[in-house]
Amino acid sequence: MSPYHLLGSTGRSYHMPGMSVTEHVFSVPLDHYDPGGRTIDVFARELVDPARADRWLPWLLYLQGGPGGKAPRPLRAGDGWLGRALETHRVLLLDQRGTGRSHPVTARSAAGFGSAGALADYLACFRADSIVADAELIRRRLCGEQPWETLGQSFGGFITLSYLSIAPEGLASCYITGGLPDPAGTADDVYALTYSRVRDKTHAFYDRYPQDRDVVRRIADLLDRETVLLPDGDRLTSARFRVLGLMLGMGDGAERLHWLLDEALGPDGLSDAFRYQVMQLTGFVDNPLFAVLQESVYAQGCAATAWSAHRAMQGLPDFSRDADPLLFTGEMFFPWMFRGTAALRPFAEAADVLAERADWPPLYDLKRLADNDIPVAAVVYHDDMYVPVELSLRAAKSVGSTRAWVTNEWEHDGVNASGDRVLSRLIDMAAGRV
């Protein structure tokens, strides 16, 4: 056993280009408030430069976006932030509970629950506080009492602030990319700002590709006039079509949407290729937790989220179906989606229960965050469509030892789109070198 494994046992090991890979599986409580109850398996993949495999290296835990996103599956060591990380760190890619190979939550597994209440109670065990508890069990298994560093992308930044609130002793430094939430904020606070961001992104899209404005209207009119089925049997409605706006917050999102629309309309109506791609992009087959827990990640205490995005949209006439131009929607989820989307249908009643739940445990400790002395370096994307800059800057002021770098050079996916530039700068910021 290599000397860096203080307490952990290794799983299957193999090599990829430029990387030594070791797989780990950990048994953790489903409900950390009931440690003697049911357990689930959580999977993590350890990556290290083969030339440094037998050396002591600091650990970097990567916390991916979501909720409901699995850890990245790297293709080669030199890609993006990972290449920079492997120069100095041993990297752990954690499939957060409910994703990837960590006891995945799927439509099939949801359909096996006897009641909506039982499923809702189960899903409540997949928020940031549970992910932090998993991470701490894993850290002690691999590292003993040695703290590690974290890189939190998007929702991974939310987990980071929960980590700083719950178990700061496990952290040496934290890097956050596009995911610095206001720990005192609510879902209503978020949607009060993100609709305007989606509006701006849609107008910018039409300014860049003015011909697509007419294409979008024609598609929406066709969907309202005719019954169009996706390959999985779901009906494609104009409301579901507008969900494609989710991609506009990424650096290449406008281009991907443009090319999707480019071949959408054919002589026989909507093309088969377009319908297939829309099914994949709006079906949430591989990440239903992204939809199911989207508003629950903001829930604390006695305030129900009560379908916050739906309520906010009702007060915005320019987002109505008849408005001109027709606006897309973004990272918003609505009750109709859980009745009209095959992969979300088994969650429909449980999603209603979660929306009305008013006894959520806290995700953040405001005093502990204010007193924090662990270095936190965060990049805040000025034009972020998903995590509003206003809330991120408020968080930067309320969390001790936090340095924020505000930039409009990248969109929400800047840690990947920038190569190694974003992570390199955050590491230098946390170390006080810049």
Tell me the pLDDT tens digit for each residue of 78-125: 778 999 999 999 999 999 999 999 999 999 999 999 999 999 999 999
Say if CB 65 and CB 179 are below 8 A apart: yes
Say if CB 110 and CB 347 are below 8 A apart: yes
Shared-domain flag, residues 129 and 271: no
Please give the pLDDT value at position 2: 38
Any domain includes 317: yes
Shared-domain flag, residues 175 and 323: no
Q: Could you give the residue numbers annotated as active site?
A: 154, 359, 412
Which residues in the chain land under pLDDT 70?
1-10
Any domain includes 36: yes
Domain boundary residue, one of 313, 336, 356: 356
CA atoms within 13 A on the CB side of 47: 26
Q: Compute the distance between CA of residue 33 and CA of residue 125 in angstroms, rounded to an integer.
A: 10
CA atoms within 13 A on the CB side of 115: 4
Any domain includes 2: no
Say if CB 171 and CB 130 are below 8 A apart: no
Shared-domain flag, residues 257 and 344: yes
Shared-domain flag, residues 219 and 122: no
For residue 351, the enclosing domain spans 187-356
Domain boundary residue, one of 356, 383, 403: 356
Any domain includes 426: yes
Shared-domain flag, residues 195 and 314: yes
Please give the pLDDT value at position 77: 87
String of b and e for 340-379 (b: at least 16 CB within 10 Å)? bbebbbbbbbbbebbbebeebeebbbeeebeebebbbbbb
Full DSSP string of 118-147: HHHHHHGGGSHHHHHHHHHHHHHHHHTT--
Shared-domain flag, residues 122 and 215: no
Beta bridge partners of 360: 301
Please give the pLDDT value at position 1: 32
Q: Which of 162, 130, 163 is nearest to 148 (CA)?
A: 163
Total domains in the chain come to 2
Q: Compute the distance between CA of residue 292 and CA of residue 109 in angstroms, rounded to an integer.
A: 14
Please give the pLDDT value at position 8: 45
State pTM to two decimals.
0.97
Shared-domain flag, residues 120 and 67: yes
Shared-domain flag, residues 334 and 372: no
Copy the structure tokens of residue 385.
Answer: 């469509």
Full DSSP string of 279-317: HHHHH-SS-HHHHHTTTGGG--BT----SHHHHHHHT-G
User: Under 8 Å CB-to-CB from 80, ≥6 apart: which residues?
Assistant: 415, 416, 418, 419, 420
Domain boundary residue, one of 331, 356, 381: 356
Any domain includes 76: yes
Copy the structure tokens of residue 206.
Answer: 């039409």
Copy the structure tokens of residue 259.
Answer: 């090319």
Please give the pLDDT value at position 79: 78
Any domain includes 1: no
